[in-house]
Amino acid sequence: MSDPASSLPSSTTAFSVCVFCGSRPGHKDSYETAAIETGTAIAQEGWRLVYGAGDVGLMGAVARAAQKSGAETFGVIPVHLLPKELGKRDLTHFIITETMHERKKVMFMNSDAIVVLPGGAGSLDEFFEVLTWKQIGLHDKPIFLLSTEGYWKPLEALIDHVIDEGFAPLSTSSYFETVETVEELVERLRILRAARS
């Protein structure tokens, strides 16, 4: 089993984009199209894809597209999901962890920005964890929701409701940014990349 501690980033590592997304494809073709476009764009920009190492659903789509276009890929998967998510062992870096929490930690540590594509409970868990970490000051990495066909509008409404009801500060809504298209996402990432280089 790979040692997650050995996966810490080096100063020569390319700008790395962590993509959280569904292990299912969803009902709309546009979700998979956006995943493919995201993986392709990451490669074309010379960035590295960091993701959950699965070869199913949107996870597999974004990874295969990134690989096809020549991107470095860094996948992290817990041992108990290897058979279910069809662990993609042909990645540039393939890390196996013991737990889900360790998986998220390794993915986060090896990324410069976080992008959340459409997904289910797992993607929501990942989003809220990095959002919470940002809210309490543990990091300042950018977080983007790629809201293909308005997928994340209910989530945005829920966060607004939580704020309105007094359970989170108004600043919570500033800890992430929603984009509607892959083109918009890439442009925002380019700006951030330039500002930090």
Alpha carbons within 13 A on the beta-carbon side of 127: 26
β-bridge mates for residue 95, sequence order: 76
Count CB-CB contacts under 10 A for residue 28.
13
**pLDDT number for residue 114:** 98
**pLDDT number for residue 86:** 86
**pLDDT number for residue 83:** 85
Vertex 68 angle, CA 142 and 108, to 5°: 25
Contact yes or no for 132/167 (Cβ under 8 A):
no
What is the maximal distance between C-alpha atoms in the chain?
47
**pLDDT number for residue 47:** 97
Contact yes or no for 146/116 (Cβ under 8 A):
yes
Query: Closest Cα to residue 47, out of 79, 86, 73?
Result: 73
pLDDT in tens, the chain (197 residues): 344 434 444 434 789 999 999 999 999 999 999 999 999 999 999 999 999 999 999 999 999 999 999 999 999 999 999 888 888 899 999 999 999 999 999 999 999 999 999 999 999 999 999 999 999 999 999 999 999 999 999 999 999 999 999 999 999 999 999 999 999 999 999 998 888 77
